[in-house]
Structure 1
Amino acid sequence: MKILLTNDDGLSSEGIQALASVLRSGGNTDIWIIAPSENRSAVSHGITMHEPLRLWVRGEQEFACSGLPVDCAIVSMHGILGGRPDVIISGINAGANMGTDLIYSGTAAAARQAAMAGIPGIAVSLESDDGNYVWEPLAFFVQKNLDTLISLCDKDIFLNINARSGLQYKGARLTGISYRDYRDSTVIHDGPDGCKYSFFCPGNIQTDGDGFSDWDAVKEGYISVSRVLAQPVSALCENDIEFIM
């Protein structure tokens, strides 16, 4: 099985290297890594279109890419692996990607791109209360259940996996997705060069689940596995709206 690993934290992040090590320990030898050369968190589904991508060889079947997570997924499909990957796994991300996070997450975007191309896509993220991450338990979950996880993927459906670091997991649940209110703000300052500068200030996230969401499962000590639509399949239409022309 040809496995591509990518992420949005960058090639040097501990999460992707831990996942690669665990997958190799299980006998998966055809593992490739194409990951951003630097942290690209919260870039959503951005694609580099107006300049060439640069790829640096960093090891056997391992590349750092100048672009974004979706760029890494796309590059993997077009020759550098000697064939399309059988699965694209994005992560393990440092920090949760639950609910509304899926809109912004570069980790999720790489898995979404895989699904839209007809390749199983799996995003994997680890939450931590104190900034310390124990990667191996979640990595081993992915390794032991890889065939099952792939079977849950489909055309235009990718998997989003979340868990909390440092726990003895109670099991895994198929979940819906939660709603997150980030309560972010910005601070504006006048610069000495005459420009105004806006500084992003993260807020205290308020998360709401319905008892069956990713957030509920992770909070209760489970690994959350969500099947997520990769692209909209419908839009709201109101036939009685009249537009002025």
Structure 2
Amino acid sequence: MKILLTNDDGIESPGLRSLEEALKSHELCIVAPDGERSGSSHRITLKAPVKFATAGHGRFACSGTPADCVLYSVHGAIDFLPDVVVSGINIGPNLGTDLIYSGTAAAARQAAFMGIPGIAVSQLLKENRIDYSAASMFIARNIERLVNAWDEDHFININVPYPDSDSLEYEITHPSRRIYHDTVESYTAPDGHTYHFLSGTFPDATPLRGTDWDTVNRKRISVSPIYLHPVTEYDMVKFGEKLK
């Protein structure tokens, strides 16, 4: 199987290296940002060139976003047409409404937009410790099944709890509604300008059974099919009824 690997944490991320090692029996190409692009969402580069710099055999550091890595690669920036795009392993979760902000998810979404199975993988931390082994093993063992389960209206979002045991079960889930506790801290510098920094505590979520958040909190791997289309026919009907 031909697999394009990417992420939003950058070409040197240990999560990406873990995936490379786990999937080495396949034909791999790695195209990842040349630095961290966390929170870049689905931004693509339209008004400037995107540089691909060789970063080893079959590895390229891209000056653009995670979505750029997929968009430009599939359109011919490199000579590699993948059967599947795997994005990750992200440092920390991408649960529920995190998907709006996530560059990891955007790369998988971009693949699905282009008719290629897209899989986003994220690993939860525990007390600032991270272990990619369970996430890498799950992808390596199930890559064929995940590709076969994919359809053109979705990408697949996977979140893996910290592996406190050797074997983790998985559940099919739907995205949670995340609750954010963001704050802004301000600082007036000697140059007279005021600078603002986003801060706050770690987000949680509405505790509903069957959501990705609930599942990882029960120490199970969350596998969510994420619908590509912003609005469904059902949404349109509901909205139209409210306008009457």
Distance 2:209 2:128 in 1: 26
Partner of 1:159: 156
Distance 1:83 1:221 in 2: 37
Specify the code of the residue in structure 2 equivalent to 1:10. G
Partner of 1:138: 135
Gaps of 5+ in 2: none
Distance 2:243 2:157 in 1: 37
Specify the code of the residue in structure 1 equivalent to 2:10. G
Distance 2:204 2:90 in 1: 20
Matched, 1:65 2:62: yes
Distance 1:23 1:115 in 2: 20
* Distance apart, 1:73 and its partner CA: 0.7
Gaps of 5+ in 1: none
Partner of 1:17: 17
Mapped contact 1:159–1:228 kept (Cα < 8 A)? yes
User: CA, structure 1 residues 171+186, in 2 after alignment: closer, same or farther (shift >3 Å)?
Assistant: same
Distance 2:172 2:223 in 1: 5
Specify the code of the residue in structure 2 equivalent to 1:91. G
User: CA, structure 1 residues 213+184, in 2 after alignment: closer, same or farther (shift >3 Å)?
Assistant: same
**Residue 137 of structure 2 aligns to a residue in which SS?**
helix
Distance 1:182 1:73 in 2: 29
Partner of 2:89: 92
Partner of 2:185: 187
- After superposition, where does 1:1-245 map in structure 2 within 5 Å? 1-24=1-24, 27-28=25-26, 30-168=27-165, 169-234=167-232, 235-236=235-236, 237-238=239-240, 241=243
Distance 1:212 1:167 in 2: 21
Root-mean-square deviation (CA, aligned residues, Å) is 1.7
Distance 1:204 1:148 in 2: 33
Distance 1:178 1:77 in 2: 31
* Distance apart, 1:66 and its partner CA: 0.7
Specify the code of the residue in structure 1 equivalent to 2:5. L
TM-score (ref. length: structure 1): 0.92
Distance 1:79 1:209 in 2: 44
Specify the code of the residue in structure 1 equivalent to 2:97. T
Distance 1:209 1:54 in 2: 43
**Residue 240 of structure 2 aligns to a residue in which SS?**
coil
User: CA, structure 1 residues 183+132, in 2 after alignment: closer, same or farther (shift >3 Å)?
Assistant: same
Query: Larger helix proportion, structure 1 or 2?
Result: 2
Distance 2:84 2:7 in 1: 14
* Distance apart, 1:239 and its partner CA: 6.4
* Distance apart, 1:240 and its partner CA: 7.4
Q: How many residue pairs align between the two structures? A: 239
* Distance apart, 1:203 and its partner CA: 2.4
**Residue 172 of structure 2 aligns to a residue in which SS?**
strand
* Distance apart, 1:83 and its partner CA: 4.1
